[in-house]
Amino acid sequence: MRNFLVLLGPPGAGKGTQASLLCARLRVPHVSSGELFREHIRGKTDLGKHAQGYLGAGQLVPDEVTIAMIRERVSQPDCSRGALLDGFPRTPAQAEAFGKMARDLGGDVRAVVYLRVADAELIERLTGRWMCRAQGHIYHVQTHPPKKAGHCDLDGSELVQRDDDKVETVTRRLAVYHEQTAMLIDYYRNAGLLLEVDGARPEAEVAESIAAALKGRLD
Ligand code: AP5
């Protein structure tokens, strides 16, 4: 049985931060749609060239392209037990397609963890975020600084800022979230899959709340 879990929440809610902790615990792959797009952009693939403008503008990549990319990824052998999805689905069409995709693969969407954080906090988080160039480990200038300035604690690589973390693009990404993604909270609540977690608390406390909310959900 493939168990698919989804982390839902606005940009900067802590989806990537919590996904790393949760994937290590559950031993399932972390499938981040944003990271997959950034890999394609770095690799200068046709998909990357198509997606680049959308990411730079803080807009969503069209559904058809995004759904095909995720279908290809979750069909890989390392997802045979399931996967944790971060940043996908993000529209009603993606959510419908994902439910069908999961069932076609002999699995199901077992739970959707919604990380709730207010917009003002999100802007602080994203404009202060640094990520390591080698593997995308996540830091923050105030709440999670690296031990050695400018370098990743885990692999020593250089820390860089994401192009779409400029304040204007962050504002656009938040507006897009409210217009096109926030409606999935009700979609998954009505499906009985939503687990709501206060994402404004410190990272370790959020991780504990997610673990508690998931208890019994994955048996
Ligand atoms: P994507 O890469 O998915 O970005 P996002 O959803 O905007 O989310 P982020 O990665 O910015 O934030 P996060 O929630 O992972 O937070 P993080 O843990 O890093 O998407 C980028 C773009 O790709 C989109 O704009 C779109 O163009 C495209 N795209 C992606 N998916 C798509 C889809 N499905 N359809 C169409 N287009 C798509 O944390 C943020 C910061 O906060 C860090 O500095 C961290 O250290 C800090 N932090 C984390 N937790 C806490 C805490 N509890 N307390 C204090 N600080 C914290």
DSSP string, 112-136: EEEEE--HHHHHHHHHTEEEETTT-
Q: How far is the CA of 87 from the centre of ligand 1 (A)?
A: 7
Q: What's the gap in Å between 125 CA and the centre of ligand 1?
A: 10
- CA-nearest residue for atom 20, ligand 1, is 34
Q: Is 138 close to ligand 1, i.e. is its CB under 6 Å away?
A: yes
pLDDT in tens, 56-65: 999 999 999 9
The structural domains of the chain, ordered by start, are: 2-214 (3.40.50.300)
Q: Name which residue sits closest to atom 49 of ligand 1, judged by CA.
A: 14
State the angle between helix axes of 63-74 and 92-104 in degrees (0 to 180), rounded to the nearest 10. Answer: 30
Q: How far apart, in whole angstroms, are the C-alpha atoms of residue 40 and residue 38? A: 5
Q: How confident is residue 72, by pLDDT bands cut at 50, 70 and 90?
A: very high
CA distance 77 to 186: 32
> Is 27 tagged catalytic?
no
Q: pLDDT digit string (tens) for 138-193?
A: 999 999 999 999 999 999 999 999 999 999 999 999 999 999 999 999 999 999 99
What's the pLDDT tens digit per position in 105-138?
999 999 999 999 999 999 999 999 999 999 899 9
Catalytic status, residue 15: yes
Q: Find the angle CA(34)-CA(37)-CA(39) to the nearest 5 degrees.
A: 110
Residue 219 has pLDDT above 90, yes or no: no
Tally Cβ neighbours within 10 Å of residue 42.
Answer: 9
Identify the band that residue 2 occupies on the pLDDT scale cut at 50, 70 and 90: confident
Predicted pLDDT at 18:
97
Task: Measure Cα distances from 45 to 31, 40, 57, 187 in Å.
Answer: 19, 5, 19, 33
- Shortest CA distance to 83 belongs to which of 135, 15, 27? 27
Q: Residue 35 C-alpha to ligand 1 middle, in angstroms?
A: 10
Clarify whether 2 is annotated catalytic.
no
Q: Which helix (H) or strand (E) holds 203?
A: helix 203-214
Retrieve residue 103's tokens.
Answer: 């069932």
Q: What is the pLDDT of residues 13-32, one digit of tens each?
A: 999 999 999 999 999 999 99
Active site residue 189: no
Residue to probe by mutation, ligand 1, list 32, 124, 132, 144, most atoms within 8 Å of CB = 144
60 CB within 6 A, ligand 1: yes
Instruction: Report which of 187, 3, 5 is spatially closest to residue 108, judged by C-alpha positions.
Output: 3
